Structure formats: C-alpha cells, structure tokens
Amino acid sequence: MASLFLQNIIVIPIILMLNVSALKLHRTLLKKDTNVKNEVIRHTILCVILIIPLVFASFIEAYISSGLICLYH
C-alpha cells in the first residue's frame, strides 16, 4: 500500500490539472470569437512543464517503491 501512495501523491493532482486544462482548451475551441492559438500554446506549455513531476513520480515508483516492497516482504 505504501508503494502506491508515494507516486500517487504526485500523479493524481497532475492528472487533474491536465484534465482541467484540456476542458478549458475544449471550451475555447467551441467558441468562435476566442483566440485559439494562445489557448493551445498555454495547454502545450502546461503539458511540457507537468512532464517533469511525472518523470520524478516514475523514478519514485521504480526505485523507492520497489525498495519499500522488499522491506515489507
């Protein structure tokens, strides 16, 4: 259980932030009078920035969580 908790502290909020950003992008694409280019750039930059903590979470899963599993068994 502890091995799943560590990376999910990072992953779940990031997934929620990406979902909100995607919904805002979708809402912008449906409107006719808005600047779509700026919203697409904003969403892309947010996705690129949020890759960094996801990579960190994958390292936690690969190295720290596997060590915790070995401790409990």
User: Which sequence spans correspond to the domains of the chain?
Assistant: 2-72
Residue-averaged pLDDT of the chain: 86
> Of all residues in the chain, what percent carry a pLDDT higher than 70?
84
Q: What is the DSSP string of 21-59?
A: HHHHHHHHHH-SSS-HHHHHHHHHHHHHHHHHHHHHHHH
The pTM score is: 0.78
Average pLDDT over residues 49-73: 81
Instruction: Using pLDDT thresholds of 50, 70 and 90, give the confidence band for residue 71.
Output: low
The predicted structure's pLDDT at residue 8: 85
Instruction: Using pLDDT thresholds of 50, 70 and 90, give the confidence band for residue 20.
Output: very high
